[in-house]
């Protein structure tokens, strides 16, 4: 169902609580826009987010398995002016003496 996928994307993207789908004003707004929309329950949202998590975890596991060499992971956490905790993970694929590939992901 497309709406469930969109709710999961919104929950993950904006770090919303699972009960977001049960907010009265959200339900009223979506009912106003499209009365045929079926809102998932909080428990359904939890299951849907877990499915996305496991799918992404498996993708990461498969990508990691393809790396023939060692991997060095470094994580760094700091607080921005807005008191938002920022995290950065840097990964280097090491081919013996030097880093052949490097990537930086901001979480």
| pLDDT tens sequence across 24-64 | 999 999 899 989 988 888 999 999 999 999 999 999 888 88
Boundary of a domain, candidates 63, 80, 97: 63
pLDDT at 61: 87
**9 and 22 together in one domain:** yes
Which residue, among 9, 35, 33, has the nearest Cα to 20 in the 3D structure? 9
Which tokens is 98 given?
A: 């030097």
This prediction's pTM? 0.63
**Residue 75: band (very low, low, confident or very high) from pLDDT cuts 50, 70, 90:** low
Instruction: Return d(Cα 62, Cα 4) in angstroms, integer.
Output: 26
pLDDT score for 65: 83
Q: Give the structural domain span for 81.
A: 67-106
Alpha-carbon distance of 84 to 51, in angstroms, equals 27
Are residues 41 and 75 both part of a single domain? no
Look at the chain and report how many structural domains it folds into.
2
Q: Does one domain contain both 55 and 77?
A: no
């Amino acid at each position: 169902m497309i709406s469930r996928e969109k709710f999961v994307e919104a929950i993950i993207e904006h770090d919303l609580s699972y009960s977001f789908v049960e907010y009265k004003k959200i339900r009223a707004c979506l009912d106003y826009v499209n009365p045929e929309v079926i809102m998932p329950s909080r428990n359904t949202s939890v299951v849907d987010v877990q499915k996305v998590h496991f799918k992404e975890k498996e993708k990461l596991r498969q990508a990691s398995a393809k790396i023939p060499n060692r991997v060095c992971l470094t994580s760094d956490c700091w607080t921005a002016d807005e008191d938002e905790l920022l995290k950065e993970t840097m990964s280097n694929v090491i081919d013996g003496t030097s880093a052949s590939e490097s990537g930086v992901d901001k979480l």
